[in-house]
Structure 1
Amino acid sequence: MKTTQVAVVGCGAIHTLHVEAIQSNHACQLRAIVDINPLKGLPLAERYGCRYYADYREMLCDSEIEVVHVCTPHGEHKEIIIEALIAGKHVFTEKPVALNPAEVKDIKNTLAITTAQLGVCYQNRLNPSSQKIKALLEDNRYGKILSIKAVLAWSRSHDYYAQSAWRGRWASEGGSLLINQAIHTLDLMQWFAGGVKSIKGVVESSFLSHATQAEDTAMANMELANGARGIFYATNCNTTDSPLLLEIHCEKGLLQLHHNKLWFISGDDQELLVSDETSTAAQKCYWGSSHQQAINNFYHSIKNTNNINYVDIHQAEVSLRMVEAIYQSSITRNWIEI
């Protein structure tokens, strides 16, 4: 079988997980990396044993490259995705797929005129706890869902924003906490509930107000598609990166994800259902541990088009609309329909 030739665009912190996944997949070969900074890109290309490009457009002219991974700042996603798709390359991109739903529309229009596929990295759906929750809810094991509560408390310093000028800027990141760190949590909430109907929320900037143009803290209430309530709180103002706390209140008890372990709690009884494990040293435990699986699923799907198993543009758009709704609701103080 022909080895799939791959390029990774953007050599920031997240690219390491993509490179590890590509190198671990025997059906793939890393052919090129792209970064506008040669002081970063050239040494990495030498380390990985691949080509280096400073301009992704030059890389797209390489007819051998079949798949492009987009690991750049958010504001560059749309342009690179569209140009790669037009060039006939399949694309696997980090979240968010774009800065806003208007940009998503442009990407959808491009997908309509190409046979190339686009996958978006929402790897937390593939964590053992997430897969277990989804299966239990679909089986109606514990009865009707009454509410879903999520609390995300992470730590981001002034230096974090200062080191990369695109972070925390509306034009280059599309916001801050919500569109970067918390979008995975929003995605899980709506995925477990089969979607979301409306949101009322508020954003605030406090400890990080001098570091970012946008929010460092957010909260929201949601009307989920299955009729349950959604309760959401997130902040980058914590002094440590705490694992996601997620609780799903069902008629027969409580599913609780706490310290990366999923429990079922009914009265005084507690049952450990599954534990999430970090599969690679390059991965931060609070990110989730499923980049490898998400990337493998995408490569399997592009070879087996009758068995698509990745988050596509339509699924990825939902959490982006949730982010936009919270921003809008914070201004209007109204419920926003999704």
Structure 2
Amino acid sequence: MTKKMRFAIVGAGVISPLHARAILGHPEAELTAIVDEIPEKANALAKEFGSPPTFATLEQMLNEGEVDAVCVCVPSGLHRDVTVASARAGKHVLCEKPLGITAKDMDEMIETCHTNGVKLATVFQKRTTEAALLTKKVVDEGKLGRLVMGDAYLKYFRSREYYKSAGWRGTWALDGGGALMNQGVHGVDIIRWLMGDVESVFAYASPLIHDIEVEDTAVAVIKYVSGAYGVIQGATTVNPGQEARFEIHGEHGSIIYGDSGFKVWKTLDGDTVPGSEPGGTAEGTDDPHAISADGHYILVDDLIRAVRDNREPLISGEEARKSVDLILAIYESARTGREVRLNAGGVKP
């Protein structure tokens, strides 16, 4: 690898500028390629971010581009194809959420990266916020005592125009799901990360408002392996959209926080809310463009460090798949009307 890690962005859609800003803002990274099958989109992104070379196909970029790592910014149903091809070409991968949309896809992505000796990292930028990190520290240190409840409220709004803006949105084949798999997966990742693995789920999920294949509203009751219970609510039908909210309750205290900061902080150490900066406004609840690039910068930096130190990324493929496994279990429960049990490898047969 050269002094700077050379990144390609594959997919010049809504999320790609966040990757471009993070890369250009990092002193040890450079943007050396952009790929999109629509040349106008690739050229527009390149013009805005330093005019790197553009390519119409992934194959051409992998053959001709000077690249060490690939940012996967294509629709979710194509994550597997781009990741596997990039790994086989010896490129490290930073994949947007969700890692994949089926267990088979994720198995192949993880295995191919391992086999080819490249790193597979995933973008879950909500894990990098101060509120999330402080909460995780308190939970891991046992300062809430035994956890009894862990809830995630992920009530977003997306317009009908949003779903019509791209043919893949709201489809099983390319979106992999709706309010949970696309918008809510960040919050599903957070609550599972804070509370631990899930034993079983019972759920309802349907398209209540939008004319789409997948759910725009979902509610799931969760039983964690620890014995704690919880609720996950996800929607793109709540108008106006609400900030994501996480509630962690234990026998000795509770922490409740949202995108704008802590609402409740009570631990064995006392009742004082830590002097953290608010997380900002309710990012992306109504507008998918209204998302900060700060978390992407942290994850770009982490991938660079993981490669140079030969360690696993902060959010590896194995770690990232857990939120998708949980969402797939929620979908199965909603489809069958039954409780669905999970294990370390996903849904139990």
The answer to whether TM tops 0.5 is yes
Equivalent AA in structure 2 for residue 230 of structure 1:
G
| Equivalent position of 1:221 in the other structure | 221
Q: Which amino acid aligns with 1:300?
A: R
TM-score (norm 2): 0.90
Amino acid of the residue matched to residue 255 of structure 2? L
Aligned twin of 1:299: 304
Deviation at 1:265, TM superposition (A): 4.4
Pick closer, same or farther for the CA change 1:258–1:92 going to 2, 3 Å: closer
User: Cα distance 1:145–1:121, how it changes in 2: closer, same or farther (>3 A)?
Assistant: same
1:150 corresponds to which residue? 152
Matching residue of 1:2: 3
Deviation at 1:225, TM superposition (A): 2.2
Q: 1:315 aligns with which of 302, 315, 319?
A: 319
Contact 2:144-2:249 within 8 A present in 1 as well: no
CA distance in 1, matches of 2:26, 2:258: 31
Cα-to-partner distance string for 1:151-194 (whole Å, 9 max, x where unaligned): 11111011001011101001111111111011111111111122
Q: Which string of whole-angstrom CA distances, capped at 9 and with x for unpartnered residues, describes residues 125-169 of structure 1? A: 111111011000011112111101111111101100101110100
In the alignment, which residue of structure 2 is the partner of 1:230?
A: 230
Cα 1:287–1:250 change in 2 (3 A) is farther
The 5-angstrom pairing of residues 166-315 of structure 1 reads 166-208=168-210, 210=211, 212-258=212-258, 260-266=260-266, 271-273=272-274, 274-278=276-280, 289-306=294-311, 308-315=312-319
CA shift, 1:3, in A, is: 1.5
- Give distance in 1, aligned partners of 2:214 and 2:30: 39
Task: Report the Cα distance in structure 2 between the residues aligned to 1:143 and 1:117, rounded to whole angstroms.
Answer: 36
Do residues 112 (structure 1) and 106 (structure 2) align? no
Is 1:76 the counterpart of 2:78? The answer is yes
Q: Which moved more, 1:196-205 or 1:80-89?
A: 196-205
- 1:319, 1:78 → 2: CA distance? 16
- Taking structure 1 as reference, are residues 143 and 81 closer, same or farther at Cα in structure 2, changes over 3 Å only? same
Structure-2 change in CA distance of 1:203 and 1:264 (3 Å): same
In 2, are the aligned partners of 1:92 and 1:118 still within 8 Å (CA)? Answer: yes
Aligned to 2:67: 65
Q: Residue 141 and residue 234 in structure 1: after superposition, are their counterparts in 2 closer, same or farther (change >3 A)?
A: same
Unaligned ranges ≥5, structure 1: none
SS of the aligned residue for 1:155 comes to: coil
Q: Which residue, out of 332, 335, 338, partners 2:339?
A: 335
Offset, 1:296: 1.1
Deviations 1:19-73 (A, max 9, x none): 0000011111111111111122113223322101011110011363100100011
| 2:345 corresponds to | none
CA contact 1:69–1:92 (8 Å) conserved in 2: yes
1:127–1:276 CA contact under 8 A, matched in 2: no
Partners of 1:167 and 1:28 in 2: how far apart? 31
Are residues 37 and 131 of structure 1, via their aligned partners in 2, closer, same or farther at CA, if it must alter by over 3 Å?
same
Aligned to 1:32: 33
* CA displacement, residues 209-263 of structure 1 (integer Å, 9 cap, x when unaligned): x2x1110000001111222112111111112232111111111222011452124
Task: Point out where structure 2 has 5 or more consecutive residues left out of the alignment.
Answer: 343-349
* Counterpart secondary structure, 2:272: strand
Secondary structure of the residue aligned to 1:92 is: strand
> Contact (CA 8 Å) 1:119, 1:310: kept in 2 or not?
yes
Partner of 1:43: 44
Q: Does the CA contact (< 8 Å) of 1:262 and 1:275 recur in 2?
A: no
Report % sequence identity. 26
2:347 equivalent in structure 1: none
Q: Return structure 1 stretches of 4+ with deviation > 3 angstroms.
A: 263-267, 275-289
Deviations 1:83-119 (A, max 9, x none): 0000000010101111111111222331232111110
CA distance in 2, matches of 1:112, 1:287: 31
> 2:87, 2:174 → 1: CA distance?
22
Separation (CA, whole Å) in 2 of partners of 1:114 and 1:45: 29
Q: How many residues align?
A: 334
Q: CA RMSD in A?
A: 2.3
Residue 206 of structure 1 and its aligned partner are, at CA, apart by 1.1
Query: Is the CA contact (8 Å cut-off) linking 2:223 and 2:229 kept in structure 1?
Result: yes
Query: TM-score w.r.t. structure 1 length?
Result: 0.92
Q: Structure 2 vs 1, CA of residues 137 and 91 (structure 1 numbering), >3 Å: closer, same or farther?
A: same
* 3-state SS, counterpart of residue 136 of structure 1: helix
